[in-house]
Every structure is written in C-alpha cells, then in structure tokens.
Amino acid sequence: MSTTYSECMVLARVELEVAKRLVNEEISAYPAPIAGCDQQFNQLLSERHRITRALQELTAEVHIPTPRAP
C-alpha cells in the first residue's frame, strides 16, 4: 500500500496533537515545582514548546520565491 504525501502530513499533525495533549496532561498533573529549579518540569515545558513549533511549521504557508521573467 502506498501512502501519499498528504496522508503523511495529516498523520504527522495528528501525532503531534496527541503528543501535545499528553505533555499538557503531564504538566497539569505535575506537583507544584520550585520555579526555575525543577529540571524535569522545565524539560516538559521545553518539549511542549518544541511540539507547538513543529505544529506551527506543518500548518504554515510556505513562500517559495520565484524569479521574475524579463
């Protein structure tokens, strides 16, 4: 079975949304940290930021400059 580019993009977006939801759940359930001192909590925040950026990149419109013909 052959998978299309569009199907791969949809799957990537769905998986990233699931990852974001799971990280958000883990952050919500995390005990109150000492601000700036909890490495594991800070790592979760960093992962959430990376996932959010990846989702933004997948949904961003791509500008491809094309040369103007004389």
pLDDT tens profile 6-44:
899 999 999 999 999 999 999 999 887 666 678 888 899
Return the axis-axis angle of helices 5-29 and 39-59, rounded to nearest 10°: 150
Let me know the angle formed at the C-alpha of 34 by 29 and 39, rounded to the nearest 5 degrees: 75
pLDDT tens profile 42-69:
899 999 999 999 999 998 888 788 888 7
DSSP 38-49: -HHHHHHHHHHH
